[in-house]
Amino acid sequence: MMKLRSIAVLAGIVALASCDKNAVQDITGVVPLAKIRFFNFGLGAPAVNFFANDTKVTAIRSDAGTPVSTGVAQGGVASGGLYTGVAPGTYQFSSQISDTTIKNVTVTKVSQTVEAGKTYSFFMSGLYDAVTRTADGFIIEDSYPTTFDYTRALVRFVNAIYNSSPMTLYAKDQTTGVEIPVGGAVAYKAGGVFAPVPNGVYDLSTRVAGSTTNVIVRTGVSFSFGNVYTIGARGDITVVSTTLANRPQLDNTLNR
């Protein structure tokens, strides 16, 4: 099932047929035709909320149902990886600091036209500048098939590491030992194609062109047939620690 979260302000609200408490409700409100989700992969970045023009489209809510100041932390994806539905059009998507002491300071702005029937991912990326309170950002289209293929999974690699060379993602089947490239080399601020991967559990790694040395490694990642995944690289490529928060890492997020 497509992961989707609708925003009423952008997509229209459900209308009621009558004020009569016994009236039948009309739930045929406008369904948003474009979808986008949001990642905070800014290195050293604070927690943020994401906006489409002036409308906040991500927020964490308390048990009482009211928004809290805590936003999407570094390394996180908004709304648990759900897509947000928006009406087709041109937007200035942005991330803004959620901390109440410096609230609504814009960190990243990216202008993007979103089209009906298409899905997108917004990545806040690069090295966060604590003086100017800015970071990089980019948006890519999630152009995977709308039909399900229950014989394989589809996997795409996105490179959000600002100081990396173009890298290729490799997947090694833990059972058979067979290793396959997942698409080709992907530069910073880019995403590869959704490539077919057989159902199974894999050890993932990235390498630069012409090298057999793994740059980033993640083990024990399951890919299930019929599902679509994005593997995102984040962090500082020069860090060799296996525990520091700014080390290079591979994130696995379900598209569908």
Q: What does the pLDDT look like over 143-160, one tens digit per residue?
A: 998 888 899 999 999 999
Confidence band (pLDDT; 50, 70, 90) for 102?
A: confident
Q: What is the DSSP letter of 16?
A: P
Among 4-13, 70-79, 169-178, 202-211, the range scoring the smallest mean pLDDT is: 4-13
User: How does pLDDT run across 45-95, given as a tens digit for each residue?
Assistant: 999 999 999 999 986 655 555 556 679 999 999 988 999 999 999 999 999
pTM of the model: 0.85
For residue 31, the model assigns a pLDDT of 59
What pLDDT does 103 receive? 74
Whether residue 185 is predicted with pLDDT greater than 80 in this model: the reply is yes
Grade residue 24 by pLDDT with cuts at 50, 70 and 90. Answer: very low
Q: What is the average pLDDT across 227-238?
A: 97
Residue 228, both tokens: 């679509």
Per-residue confidence (pLDDT) for residue 149, from 0 to 100 = 86
Of the chain, the percentage scoring pLDDT greater than 90 comes to 75
Q: What is the mean pLDDT of residues 110-128?
A: 97
Of all residues in the chain, what percent carry a pLDDT higher than 70?
A: 83
The pLDDT of residue 155 is: 98
Which band of pLDDT confidence, cut at 50, 70 and 90, is reported for residue 104? Answer: confident
Question: What are the boundaries of each domain within the chain?
Answer: 1-143, 145-256
135 pairs with which residues across the strands?
Answer: none
Can you tell me the mean pLDDT for 155-180? 97
pLDDT at residue 16 in the model: 29
Query: Phi-psi bin for 177: left (phi > 0), alpha (psi -120 to 50), beta?
Result: left
pLDDT of residue 27 exceeding 70: no
Give me the amino acid identity at 143.
S
CA dihedral sign, ordered 163, 104, 91, 59: positive
DSSP string of 180-238?
EEEEEEE-TTEE---EEE-SEEEEEEEEETT--S-SEEEEEEEE-TT-EEEEEEES-TT
User: Rounded to the nearest 5 degrees, what angle is found at the Cα of 227, between the Cα atoms of 78 and 248?
Assistant: 50
pLDDT value at position 99? 84
* Residue 193 near residue 117 (C-beta atoms within 8 A): no
Say if residue 211's pLDDT is above 60.
Answer: yes
Is it true that domain 145-256 has CATH number 3.30.43.10?
A: no
Q: Share the mean pLDDT of the chain.
A: 87
